[in-house]
Chain A
């Protein structure tokens, strides 16, 4: 079956513009995560959705970042007024959602965001 799908795969934008990144999780997965991967850095947690529960937004670096998950499936990560330090690979992952974070995550290939 299909894995986690992210679009676009690459996004180049100008400083100050807004961007939207999309994630289609694996069908049936109730948990969805967004991570950010900067050059030479690990995976930085951004936000976590689990079913109908309120999302865990504790990793969002500023109020310019927001995310939503519609109908318990597709998720969109929005970055407003982009800055050069926002340049990174944004990774989405999904999981069955039966063991919180203590289970296998399935990652998409990511969106490479470049802010000029």
Chain B
């Protein structure tokens, strides 16, 4: 089955800096790669996703890049704000259910 590795497990940045979270996956058949943000006491919420026919996607301060040859994808957050502090999960899916990484706790200090 699919295996998703996520790094780093924790990331501390200063407000205004950029943050990058990286994930690798094992199944070359995977073609859908979403990112979820989980705030304390809440369920994860989709923030951006990318499909295998696209190499990069942007939505305001958030961008995701995908390298299918290397089987890795990354989340980029620019101009970080304290409200970006949360746990971020990457995931990959081929034909059915999502396999999630173990998460990255992002802390943005004012």
What residues make up the interface of A, taking CB atoms closer than 8 Å to B?
4, 33, 35, 40-45, 48, 56, 59, 91, 93, 100-102, 104-105, 107-110
Closest to A6 in B: B43
For chain A, what secondary structure do more than half of its interface residues adopt (helix, strand, loop), or is it mixed?
Answer: loop
The CA-CA distance from A107 to B36 in the complex, in Å, is 10
A45 near B43 (CB under 8 angstroms)?
A: no
Closest to B42 in A: A109
Closest to B33 in A: A102
**Which 9 A-B pairs give the minimum distances between C-beta atoms?**
A107-B43, A102-B32, A42-B102, A43-B100, A101-B93, A42-B100, A101-B97, A101-B96, A104-B46
Which of A41, A56, A91, A109 contacts B97, CB < 8 Å?
Answer: A56
A101 near B102 (CB under 8 angstroms)?
A: no
Q: Contacts of A43 on B, CB cut-off 8 Å?
A: 44, 89, 91, 100
Extra pairs beyond A56-B96, A93-B43, A105-B34 (20, CB < 8 Å): A42-B89, A42-B101, A43-B91, A44-B100, A45-B98, A45-B99, A45-B100, A91-B43, A100-B93, A100-B96, A101-B95, A101-B98, A102-B32, A104-B46, A105-B36, A105-B44, A105-B98, A107-B36, A107-B44, A109-B42
